[in-house]
Structure 1
Amino acid sequence: MNDRFILNKAIKDKFFSAIESLLFVHGDPISLKDISVVLGEEVDFVRLLMDEFELLYENSNRGLKLFKIDDKYQFGTKPENEKYIVKLLKTNQRQSLSQAAIETLSIISYKQPVTRVEIEEIRGVRSDKAIQTLLDKDLIKESGRLEVIGRPILYGTTDNFLKQFGIERLEELPALEDVQIDD
């Protein structure tokens, strides 16, 4: 391995401090490439730093969690601290999704990109309200338009969807034939 990747603790701590600040200030997911540019370092080097930084947060008692989604990183709070955050912000806890929204989200996550008409054909009922709820909760997004007459909107999942379900990539969703449905 290149000596460039063997760092003493003081230098690593300096990079970790800078990375922590970038993630905190940026708020939104930030790509590995953008972190590399800001730090003035090569992507491969920063990838190694981020792997170790991820372990640091995974194995600590910190209140923050590092989310990684498709080579983008973002801080969020640990789920076990939600009740304290809700209390501080004096907001209601996350409302669960309706059955219609869950069905709609499932269809979108497995069939994306998909139109409202395709969703409604699968569900057998209108899905306008469920789609709007999922858009409002930033679990789905408009991901283009189908190139047919009327150019209907195509829907797909968001990075927030991945974060909420604790996965990095859509490929981590269970195979559709492995999903057990309770009636």
Structure 2
Amino acid sequence: MKQKTIIEGLIFLAGEEGLTFEQICSALDHPVNDAVVEDLETLKKQYDDPDSGIELTEFSNRYKFITKEAIYPYGQRIFEHAKPASLSQAALETLAIVAYKQPITRVEIEEIRGVNCEVMLKKLQAQGLIEAKDRLDTVGKPLLYTVTDEFLDAFELNTLAELPELPQHDGEEDLFGNEEEE
């Protein structure tokens, strides 16, 4: 079986999770090499064909198959009665704080938001958008929260550097309570 065919099948099997370049090379029992890169580029071109309903894409360093945008109206007919997953205003606020200030503790998030956010953090973790990746080396060893690859994928970002800049207001605190530098 051709290596390109195996790569195609592996990415399909991975589904929404997708695969990293390193995972693909590991599954093939190959060191990282140009042949795998060439096969991925060939697959991208193959699925870029207008007669294909899917495409191979790379988000957050993960390769995955996605449906082409032109398919959306047809898919919408199928799923129009399904309730889309959405985030509440509180969830979006908490998620934004974690994304912009990570790694950050629950107490720091609560100081910025002004409300208890323990339940919201658990909900965002359950949705796979944030994770408690480490502990702060201080009294009580509080958890440090960061966003996940699923967050990057959900917001179609490759890195956090692609997040929009926060609005600046002269002589005021920014959205997260930081004093403005002059």
- TM-score, reference length from structure 1: 0.73
Give the number of equivalent residue pairs: 164
Q: 1:102 to 1:31 in 2, by over 3 A?
A: same
Deviation for aligned residue 1:97: 0.8
CA distance in 2, matches of 1:168, 1:139: 15
**Residues of 2 paired with 1:78 and 1:101: CA distance?**
29
- Are the equivalent residues in 2 in contact too, given 1:69–1:169 (CA < 8 A)? no
* Residues 84-139 of structure 1 deviation map (CA, whole Å, 9 limit, x = unaligned): 6647xx8x332321111011111111111111111111111111232222112211
Could you say which residue in structure 2 is the equivalent of 1:174? 164
RMSD between aligned residues: 2.9
Between Structure 1 and Structure 2, the one with more helix by share is 1
The percentage of aligned residue pairs carrying the same residue is 38
Give the corresponding residue for 2:61: 71
**Residues 8-67 of structure 1, C-alpha deviation per residue, up to 9 Å, x if partnerless?**
xxx9xx443221101122343322123123335552411233234234435545444534
1:168 Cα deviation from its structure 2 partner: 1.4
1:161-180 CA-to-partner distances (Å, cap 9, x unmatched) read 111111111122122348xx
Quote the residue 1:20 is aligned against.
Answer: 8
Partner amino acid for 1:138? Answer: G
Counterpart CA distance in 2 for 1:134 and 1:61 is 38
TM-score (norm 2): 0.73
Is the Cα–Cα contact under 8 Å of residues 116 and 127 in structure 1 kept in the other structure? yes
Gaps of 5+ in 2: 169-174, 176-182
Match of 1:103 in 2: 93
Verify: 1:29 aligned to 2:22, yes or no.
no
Selected match of 1:146 from 115, 123, 136: 136
Q: Secondary structure, in 3 states, of the residue corresponding to 1:176?
A: coil
Determine the C-alpha separation between the residues in 2 that align with 1:58 and 1:133.
37
For 1:43, the equivalent position in structure 2 comes to 32
Describe the shift of the 1:29–1:175 C-alpha distance in structure 2 as closer, same or farther (beyond 3 A): same
**Contact (CA 8 Å) 1:67, 1:163: kept in 2 or not?**
no
> Does structure 2 conserve the Cα–Cα contact (< 8 Å) formed by 1:64 and 1:77?
yes
Cα separation, partners in 2 of 1:93 and 1:75, compared to 1, 3 Å? farther
2:80 matches 1:83:
no
Report the counterpart of residue 121 of structure 1 in structure 2: 111
Separation (CA, whole Å) in 2 of partners of 1:159 and 1:61: 30
2:97 aligned partner, one-letter code? I
Over 3 Å counting, the alpha-carbon distance change for 1:84 and 1:132 in structure 2 is farther
Unaligned runs of 5+ residues in structure 1 are 1-10
Distance in structure 2 (CA, Å) of the matches to 1:163 and 1:60: 24
Report the residue type matching 2:27 in the other structure.
V
CA contact (8 A) 2:60 2:152 kept: no
Indicate the larger mover: 68-77 or 108-117. Answer: 68-77
Counterparts of 1:57 and 1:78 in 2: how far apart (Å)? 10
Cα distance in 2 for partners of 1:55, 1:118 equals: 46
